[in-house]
Structure 1
Amino acid sequence: MQRVSPQSVSLSFMADFHTDASGVAMLASSYFWGYTLMQIPAGLLVDRYGVKRVVLGSLAASTLGSAAFALAPSLLDVFVARLIVACGDALVFTALLKLVAQSFSDQRFGIMSGISQVSGYVGGVLATTPLAAAVSGFGWRACFIFIACVGLANLCLASMTLRPDPAARNDRMIGSVIVSARRALAQPANWGCAMSFASHFAVVTTLSGVWGIPMVAHIFNMSAATAGAPLLGFMVGNAVGSIFLGHIADRMAARLDTALIRICLLRMLLIAILLPPLCHVLGFLYVGSVFTVLGLVAGGTVPLVLKCTKRLYTADLIGTGASVNTTTAGLFAGISQPVIAFAMVAVSQTSDGTAPGGVSAVTDTGFGTLIGILLLMSLPGLIGPMMMRSKLMVHS
């Protein structure tokens, strides 16, 4: 929910702070930078201190950051607040993977990690049409105060329900974890895994979490709440795809690399057919259908990458492996956001020099540029699986 919420609050956010598309890009990139900065520490902390303590710290930071974001008086305060939120959120994904790896066998890891992602996709669903409608009715600040309250409730529940890690786990020295991590990072296959995830994460999050709703709202000249419907379909597709392909991943053995290449090509095709001229001709239902299928593909990609991560790093160092993947993904996504915003606005102003500032300044040509950049950002997703191939065959 935190990651994909900027698109649902972008119009209100720009009006309150008198900013334009660059402000939305700043809002998105601040989250990616915070998420990235905490990833390597996240893996080391989870592998050293266990799941429960890390999750409690994570929820506390996310709750405080959400409240600070709601009360932020300036763009600098917004940046800092979102940075705090992201630093907290960065710990959850790694802790979740560690918990699943410890609790289930390799034969069930794919399906269980896929099912575990579903709750995250529920948050993504809430961040589309429901959040956009709530923002229009109550304002974005009131919505994020409520989100902070939900975070506080989650913190209390987690403190009561999560079991402490075994003492043997907590006795492991942080130095030994770092040494093991350095050895793992010397393997090209592990960087291939990181490239695969980074390409998927940056592309999908940019479309579904930053520019999806503004693009649909522009193409069909509708409100953000109505334009959120295709993104709602995307999130539902994510949940279904994560379970279905998580089940498939457990049965693919040495063919994981081939599956990742094919699913990357399919994702590129689906993004390409979202070009504005096609959307204008084929209509809103077409766009909703493409986003839903894209959600199935995106949700299914995550269990495949996680299965590769488990194979390459083993359950003992999966926290470190997840951190490497998400650090690479966060860097890629964070660096790309200002570049994408600049390119979209520049191309739009070239094609229509009278365009006003703000998201309205982005024309069909600008959103077409977005699609082209996303296709270029997808290319590492084709190279990464090839780098993993020989190592995955050894571990199958």
Structure 2
Amino acid sequence: MVKENSKYRWVVFSTVLMAYFLIVSQRTAPGLISVQLMNEFQISASLIGILTSAQFFAYAGLQIPIGILSDRFGPNIFLITGTILSGIGTILYSIAPNEYILLLARTMVGVGDATIWINVVLILSQWFKPNEFVRLLGFAGMSGNLGFLLATVPFSAWIALMGWRMPFLTTGIILFLIGILLYIVLVKIPKKTMKDVVRQTSMRIENREKTLNILLRVFSNRQAWATFFCHFGIVGTYVGFIGSWAVPYGMHVYSLTRSEASQLILIGIIGAIIGAPITSWLASRVHSIKRPYAIVHLIVFCCWLAFLFFSGKPPFFMLILLYFFIGCGIGASALTFAIVRGSFAMKEVGVVSGFANTGGFLSAVLLPAIFGKVLDHFQSMDTAVGYQYGFWIPVAFSLAGLIGVFLIKEKEQEIEKGA
């Protein structure tokens, strides 16, 4: 049985997206308890930023190595291991007695998370035909944004009802069990029923290229750097801010409760859920990825600029719109990997995807830590002043993303040919 024509590929698709959905929720869920952690463990805003950055530092640092290894040995083992490791890290986070264990736990989650998206892209590439890939990538992005949605009002309500430890403990256990399910779906069943899975894996292992040659080719490729900066500007600004400072921002600047602040983030998540499939559909309709993606980057840049224009506190109705359109931007970020798929040979898709993803999560590492430093510097002044200066960071980062999207070289009719 051939994978691309089997009905079983939809079982693979559903299981992989379920894992991705839950893992993504744990990127931003800790942001719901930033203030609570500061009070319980008597730690500063800077240390909260470091806790957030630790996860994304591990994520960003492993993207290229994971990409190389996944291209070489296949995506299944890394997706399974990463999901289990994310579960163990989340369990450890839930029982942490001090800030050092919190830091270790977030680092473990970051290492596990580092394996996920690259291998989701590779698995979809292996199990689905090229003309299905762009549309399904949009749905994969939407599942991740549903994970962000879980980490807003539902998770906030769960925390309010049971405290913060039980929700994280339960989530960690579920992730561990999903890792076991992935082994059954991706390895055990296909090994018995689909001979081409084993044959393709063997061919991939036999035809190895020197790692240094691969890296030199990627680092000297303009298209690879373009995707790096696209993700740096559009992903890191959203994930870095939402995952650490969005809830405290709503509480301190707009005097919202934690629940109300998380509901505000919900607006951005709705934008992301809508943005993922719509931008993928639009790219297919206009037979271009670059044109709709450039518009998205321009909108995101203008949204962050608006925070500066209103001195860190735009009118509340405008804040809702800004969150929505920034959310649409993160939803559209799956187009980065459609560009990768259309520009590089299949044997390089993993490493270039890892390189692009490094950009997004390097940004997510830097933003919370720098933002926390700025807030600490202005802590003796009006709270809004610290946020006002802090917003210079996502403005600068999103400008880098805008430059990146204009550096993309796109082949004519790329989408029609199955990019």
TM-score scaled by structure 2? 0.84
1:203 has 2:237 as partner = yes
Displacement of 1:185 in angstroms is 3.0
Once residues 71 and 41 of structure 1 are traced to their aligned partners in structure 2, the CA distance between those partners, rounded to angstroms, is 30
Distance, in Å, in 1 between the alignment partners of 2:198 and 2:275 is 33
- Distance (Å, rounded) in 1 between the aligned partners of 2:360 and 2:64: 12
Counterpart residue number, 2:6: none
Establish whether residue 327 from structure 1 lines up as the match of residue 358 from structure 2: yes
* 1:199/1:381 contact within 8 Å kept: yes
Q: Which amino acid aligns with 1:264?
A: H
Question: Could you tell me whether the CA contact under 8 Å between 2:227 and 2:404 is conserved in 1?
Answer: yes
- Give CA-to-partner distance per residue, 1:8-41, whole Å, 9 cap, x none: 0111111121012112101110111110222122
The DSSP-based 3-state class of the residue aligned with 1:210 is coil
Aligned amino acid, residue 359 of structure 2: T
Change (3 A) 1:199 1:170: farther
Question: What letter is aligned with 2:262?
Answer: G
Q: Are the aligned partners of 2:300 and 2:326 in contact in 1 as well (CA < 8 Å)?
A: yes
2: CA distance between counterparts of 1:197 and 1:344?
Answer: 25
Displacement after TM superposition at 1:175 (Å): 4.2
**Which residue is 2:315 aligned to?**
282
Which of 176, 200, 209 aligns to 1:176? It is 209
Structure 1: 5+ residue stretches without partners: 353-362
Q: Where do residues 351-390 of structure 1 align in structure 2 (5 Å cutoff)?
A: 351-352=381-382, 363-389=383-409
Picking from 287, 290, 297, the partner of 2:329 is: 297
- Report if aligned partners of 1:308, 1:392 keep a CA contact under 8 Å in 2: no
- For residues 291 and 335 of structure 1, the distance between their equivalents in structure 2, rounded to whole angstroms, comes to 20
**Distance apart, 1:238 and its partner CA:** 0.9
Bigger shift: residues 372-381 or 328-337: 328-337
Q: Secondary structure at the match of 2:235?
A: helix
2:119 counterpart residue number: 95
CA distance in 2 between partners of 1:249 and 1:238 (Å): 16
Segment of structure 1 superposing worse, 331-340 or 78-87: 331-340
Q: How does 1:78-157 map to 2 (within 5 A)?
A: 78-157=102-181
> Which AA in structure 2 matches 1:17?
F
Alpha carbons of structure 1 residues 292 and 146: separation in structure 2 relative to 1, 3 Å: same
The residue identity in structure 1 corresponding to 2:59 is Y
Residue range with higher mean Cα deviation, 137-146 or 255-264 = 255-264
Check whether the contact 1:114–1:242 (CA below 8 A) recurs between aligned residues. Answer: yes
Match of 1:315 among 327, 331, 346: 346
Give the distance between the partners of 1:177 and 1:231, measured in 2 at CA. Answer: 45
Query: How much has 1:325 moved relative to structure 2?
Result: 1.0
Secondary structure of 1:2 counterpart: helix
Moved more, 15-24 or 44-53: 44-53
Q: 1:281 to 1:379 in 2, by over 3 A?
A: closer
What is the TM-score of this pair, normalised by structure 1?
0.89
Distance 2:202 2:159 in 1: 43
Q: Report the CA distance shift for 1:240/1:54 in structure 2 as closer, same or farther (over 3 A).
A: same
Structure 2 SS opposite 1:379: helix
Q: Distance in 2 between matches of 1:225 and 1:213?
A: 9
SS at match of 1:205: helix
What residue in structure 2 maps to residue 347 of structure 1? 378
8 Å CA contact 1:66–1:85 kept in 2: the answer is yes
Deviates more, 1:183-192 or 1:193-202: 183-192
Distance (Å, rounded) in 1 between the aligned partners of 2:41 and 2:61 = 26
Which amino acid in 2 is paired with 1:369? Y
- Whether contact under 8 Å (1:111, 1:249) holds in the other structure is no
Match of 1:69 in 2: 93
